[in-house]
C-alpha cells in the first residue's frame, strides 16, 4: 500500500498569503496524484488531477506540481472561502490511498 | 450535471448488516467505475472499495475485505455497498464517487454522503 504523507497538518494564514501544501508518496507514483478540497460539512471536491491539471471550474489561484514521490498544492493568494481541509490522493495502485489532510485556516 | 445521491445509512448495532445505495444521474453510468470512500467523525478519508463499469472487477481496502461487498445495477444506475459484521470502527460518513475510467482511473465527482453509526 502506498502511504501519502502531507505537511503541514495545519496552517493558519492571513488573507492573500501564499499557501504551499506538500504530499510525499512512499514510492514513485508518476503523476497519479490528485488534490481534493473539503469544506466543513461538505463532501470533497476535486481541485487538481494528475499532479498539475486543474479540474473544471477551479479558480486559477490553485495549482499543483510534482512527480514521482514529491508533490505540492499551491494557493497563490488565499481567500476566506478557501478555509478547508486539503487531501492528496493517489490512483497509481490499489488500494487507493489518501494523505492525512492539511487544515487551512484564516489568521 | 453529474449527480450522486447516497442513501441507506442509519444507526445499527455491532455485528449486524446494512446496505448502502448510491443513485447516479447526469452521465452514462455503465461506462464508469464507481468507488466507496468513508470518513469517520473528525477524521480523514478512507478508501473502501471500487467496482468496474462492467461489474467484473472489484477491489477492497484491507479494513473491510471479507465483510463488505460492492455491487452495481447498471439498469438502475445504482451502486451498492453491502456491509456485514459491522464494527464500531465502521462508524463514518460513506461517500460514493465516480471513477474517470471504466476501472483504474481516479475519482472526480462525489456524492454528499450517508452516515452510518454502529453503536450498542
What are the angstrom distances between the C-alpha of B99 and each of B51, B68, B80, B81, B119? Answer: 9, 19, 15, 16, 32
Task: Name chain A contacts of B106, Cβ cutoff 8 Å.
Answer: 32, 34, 49-50, 89, 91
A31-49 mean pLDDT:
97
Q: Contact at 8 Å (CB) between A69 and A3? A: no
How far apart, in whole angstroms, are the C-alpha atoms of residue A9 and residue B28?
Answer: 38
Task: Name chain B contacts of A46, Cβ cutoff 8 Å.
Answer: 107-109
Average pLDDT over chain B reads 97
Answer yes or no: is pLDDT of B90 > 90: yes
B66-94 mean pLDDT:
98
What are the angstrom distances between the C-alpha of B32 and each of A103, B54, B74, B89, B102? Answer: 31, 9, 10, 30, 4
A2-15 mean pLDDT:
97
Closest residue on chain A to B60 (Cα): A95
pLDDT score recorded for residue B84: 98
Q: Contact at 8 Å (CB) between B14 and B117? A: no
**Nearest residue to A81 (alpha-carbon basis) of A58, A64, A101:** A58
**Nearest residue to A26 (alpha-carbon basis) of A68, A60, A86, A78:** A68
Q: Contact at 8 Å (CB) between A25 and A4? A: yes
B54-69 mean pLDDT:
96
- The answer to whether B103 contacts chain A (CB < 8 Å) is no
Banded pLDDT at A99 (limits 50, 70, 90): very high
What pLDDT digit, counting tens, does each position of B20-58 carry? 999 999 999 999 999 999 999 999 999 999 999 999 999
pLDDT score recorded for residue B104: 87
Task: Name chain A contacts of B68, Cβ cutoff 8 Å.
Answer: none
The fraction of chain A above a pLDDT of 90, given in percent, is: 99
What are the angstrom distances between the C-alpha of A101 and each of A5, A39, A86, B37? Answer: 9, 12, 5, 15
How far apart, in whole angstroms, are the C-alpha atoms of residue A5 and residue A26?
Answer: 8
10 Å CB burial of residue A21 (0-12, 13-18, 19+) is: buried
Answer yes or no: is pLDDT of A97 > 90: yes
Answer yes or no: is pLDDT of B74 > 90: yes
Compare CB distances from A98 to B45, B60, B111 and report the shortest one's residue. B45
Amino acid at each position: 500500500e502506498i502511504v501519502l504523507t502531507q505537511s503541514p497538518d495545519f496552517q493558519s494564514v492571513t488573507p492573500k498569503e501564499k499557501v504551499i501544501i506538500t504530499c510525499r508518496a512512499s514510492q514513485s507514483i508518476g503523476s497519479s496524484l490528485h488534490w481534493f478540497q473539503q469544506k466543513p460539512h461538505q463532501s470533497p471536491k476535486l481541485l487538481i488531477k494528475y499532479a498539475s491539471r486543474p479540474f473544471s471550474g477551479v479558480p486559477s489561484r490553485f495549482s499543483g506540481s510534482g512527480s514521482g514521490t514529491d508533490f505540492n498544492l499551491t494557493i497563490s493568494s488565499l481567500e476566506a472561502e478557501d478555509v478547508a481541509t486539503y487531501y492528496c490522493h493517489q490512483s497509481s495502485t490499489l488500494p487507493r490511498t489518501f494523505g492525512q489532510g492539511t487544515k487551512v485556516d484564516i489568521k | 450535471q453529474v449527480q450522486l445521491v447516497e442513501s441507506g445509512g442509519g444507526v445499527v448495532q455491532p455485528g449486524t448488516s446494512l446496505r448502502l445505495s448510491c443513485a447516479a444521474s447526469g452521465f452514462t453510468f455503465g461506462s464508469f467505475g464507481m468507488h466507496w470512500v468513508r470518513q469517520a467523525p473528525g477524521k480523514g478519508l478512507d478508501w473502501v472499495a471500487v467496482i468496474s463499469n462492467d461489474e467484473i472487477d472489484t477491489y477492497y481496502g484491507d479494513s473491510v475485505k471479507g465483510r463488505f461487498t460492492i455491487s452495481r445495477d447498471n439498469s438502475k444506475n445504482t451502486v451498492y455497498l453491502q456491509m456485514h459484521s459491522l464494527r464500531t470502527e465502521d462508524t463514518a460518513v460513506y461517500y460514493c464517487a465516480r471513477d474517470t475510467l471504466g476501472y483504474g482511473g481516479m475519482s472526480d465527482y462525489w456524492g454528499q454522503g450517508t452516515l452510518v453509526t454502529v453503536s450498542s
